[in-house]
């Protein structure tokens, strides 16, 4: 499989997450982008003409001359569709692609809560990918939909997984300081965030309080038992380009100390099936010992933006421990995560 290039497409290719897909898929060892899909007003034009490129790294050469096609399975021939569409469009269009045989690896929130749809962080719950088999039976699809979590849930859940395995997580307080790229483009007006904080992100807190429970849940008899963990989340937008910072306090079943927690986090290994994939974070988790790290500008690109960075592990006067988690929101928390999911599908022979 790895010799042959697997044809893939990006749906919603001109947006902020779409651009990240295009950047990360440049020179990917397994995948070859054969189509870029976007909204009607871009269709028929060259990608470089219609896309307002926002990333620090230049637009990859391969994408510049590609002619944008409609987001329709008939318009292209590919095996995997990476979806960076907004939720309202994703709700309608993703099933069309799954029906037509595409493996849809989606960032959208539309199907994350469906019982037969994997909500996937391969370094956390690779085995949940097996839900795809039931999904196909139940929905009569030859393709499938696999989702990755909300960008704030991603890093938080990776850190919690390592701690849950070792000490059992019971309760979690999480307060995020989220980056602007998470809101897309044009997204947050500059007048709203310079010399300012926006103490709310619509719908985000519900996601952060629920998604980790599915990802940390056990797959039993083809069903996921939601993890019995209580969550409380506050979400904030701050003047950071990329990288979500989360302040976390945790209560454990087996109380522990900062030293042991640090070791559990540092030693955490992804499940075997997800460990050696091209996009696997190396390492899954990096623990920093400085008093003032992680910081988004300095640490977001750890492990090419796929590694979850944890720091300031210390005792919590009310629960057991508190610490800070940092994760790159458009790489580990979005496009990079979807690509990692697709690699797992390939590795598990789940492509049709």
User: Could you give the residue numbers annotated as active site?
Assistant: 151, 244
**Angstrom distance (rounded) from CA 220 to CA 232:** 26
How do beta strands 308-315 and 321-327 pair?
Answer: antiparallel
Among 40, 57, 61, 221, binds its own copies (CB under 8 A): 57
309 Cβ contact partners less than 8 Å away, ≥ 6 residues apart: 155, 285, 286, 287, 288, 293, 294, 299, 302, 325, 326, 327
Under the criterion CB under 8 A, does residue 54 sit at the interface with its own copies?
A: yes
Under the criterion CB under 8 A, does residue 76 sit at the interface with its own copies?
A: no
Query: What residues between 186 and 225 interact with its own copies by CB under 8 A?
Result: 186-200, 202, 209
In a 3-state reduction of DSSP, which class is residue 71?
coil
| Least distance CB 100 / its own copies (angstroms) | 34
56 Cβ contact partners less than 8 Å away, ≥ 6 residues apart: none
Among 8, 68, 240, 277, binds its own copies (CB under 8 A): 240
Angle (deg, nearest 10), helices 16-24 and 336-347: 50
Binding mask 6-45 for its own copies (x = CB under 8 A): ----------x-----------------------------
**Angstrom distance (rounded) from CA 263 to CA 276:** 22
Among 95, 99, 139, 185, binds its own copies (CB under 8 A): 185
Which residue, 126 or 325, has its beta carbon nearer to its own copies?
Answer: 325
Residue whose C-alpha is closest to residue 87's, from 203, 180, 214, 199? 203
Q: Pinpoint the alpha helices (H) of 71-182.
A: 87-99, 122-125, 131-139, 151-167
In what helix (H) or strand (E) does residue 83 lie, and over which residues does it extend?
A: strand 80-83
Which residue, 203 or 271, has its beta carbon nearer to its own copies?
Answer: 203
| Least distance CB 54 / its own copies (angstroms) | 6
Contact predicate 252/169, CB 8 Å: yes
Under the criterion CB under 8 A, does residue 272 sit at the interface with its own copies?
A: no
Among 3, 27, 40, 58, binds its own copies (CB under 8 A): 58
Tell me how far CA of residue 146 lies from CA of 131, 207, 217, in angstroms: 9, 17, 16
Which residue, 66 or 301, has its beta carbon nearer to its own copies?
Answer: 301
Under the criterion CB under 8 A, does residue 293 sit at the interface with its own copies?
A: yes
Residue whose C-alpha is closest to residue 14's, from 89, 92, 122? 89
Under the criterion CB under 8 A, does residue 289 sit at the interface with its own copies?
A: no
Give me Rg for the CA atoms of the chain.
19
| Least distance CB 125 / its own copies (angstroms) | 22
Among 21, 82, 173, 268, binds its own copies (CB under 8 A): 173
Contact predicate 136/144, CB 8 Å: yes
Under the criterion CB under 8 A, does residue 64 sit at the interface with its own copies?
A: no
Which residue, 87 or 241, has its beta carbon nearer to its own copies?
Answer: 241
Under the criterion CB under 8 A, does residue 236 sit at the interface with its own copies?
A: yes
Which residue, 1 or 318, has its beta carbon nearer to its own copies?
Answer: 318
Residue whose C-alpha is closest to residue 147's, from 72, 221, 83? 83
How do beta strands 321-327 and 169-178 pair?
Answer: unpaired
Query: What residues between 248 and 267 interact with its own copies by CB under 8 A?
Result: 249
- How many chain residues are in contact with its own copies, going by CB under 8 A? 62
| Least distance CB 94 / its own copies (angstroms) | 26
Which residue, 245 or 347, has its beta carbon nearer to its own copies?
Answer: 245
Binding positions for its own copies, rule: CB under 8 A: 16, 53-58, 171, 173, 175, 177, 180-181, 185-200, 202, 209, 230-232, 234, 236, 238-241, 245, 247, 249, 291-298, 300-302, 311-312, 316-319, 322, 324
């Amino acid at each position: 499989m790895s010799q042959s290039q697997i044809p893939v497409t990006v749906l919603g290719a001109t947006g902020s997450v779409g651009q990240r897909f295009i950047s990360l898929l440049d020179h990917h060892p397994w995948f070859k982008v054969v189509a870029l899909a976007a909204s009607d007003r871009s269709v028929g034009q060259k990608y470089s003409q219609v896309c307002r490129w926002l990333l620090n790294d230049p637009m990859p050469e391969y994408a510049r001359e590609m002619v944008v096609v409609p987001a329709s399975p008939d318009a292209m021939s590919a095996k995997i569709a990476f979806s960076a569409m907004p939720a309202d469009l994703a709700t309608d269009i993703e099933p069309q692609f799954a029906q037509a045989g595409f493996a849809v690896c989606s960032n959208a929130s539309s199907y994350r809560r469906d019982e037969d749809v994997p909500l996937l962080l391969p370094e956390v719950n690779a085995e949940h990918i097996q839900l795809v088999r039931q999904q196909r039976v139940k929905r009569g699809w030859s393709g499938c939909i696999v989702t990755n979590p909300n960008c704030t849930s991603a890093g938080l859940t990776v850190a919690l997984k390592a701690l849950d395995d070792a000490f059992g997580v019971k309760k979690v307080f999480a307060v995020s300081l989220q980056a602007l790229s998470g809101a897309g483009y044009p997204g947050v007006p500059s007048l709203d965030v310079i010399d300012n904080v926006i103490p709310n992100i619509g719908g985000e807190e519900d996601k952060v309080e629920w998604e980790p429970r599915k990802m940390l849940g056990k797959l039993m008899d083809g069903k996921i038992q939601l993890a019995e963990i209580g969550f409380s989340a506050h979400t904030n937008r701050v003047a950071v380009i990329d990288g979500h910072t989360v302040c976390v306090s945790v209560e454990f079943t087996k109380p522990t100390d900062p030293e042991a927690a640090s070791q559990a986090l540092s030693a955490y290994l992804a499940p075997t099936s997800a460990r050696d994939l091209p996009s696997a974070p190396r390492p899954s988790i990096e623990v920093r010992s400085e008093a003032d790290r992680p910081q988004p500008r300095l640490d977001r690109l750890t492990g090419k933006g796929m590694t979850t960075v944890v720091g300031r592990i210390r005792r919590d006067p009310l629960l057991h421990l508190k610490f800070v988690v940092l994760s790159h929101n458009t790489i580990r928390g979005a496009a990079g995560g979807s690509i990692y999911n697709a690699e797992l599908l390939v590795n598990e022979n789940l492509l049709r």
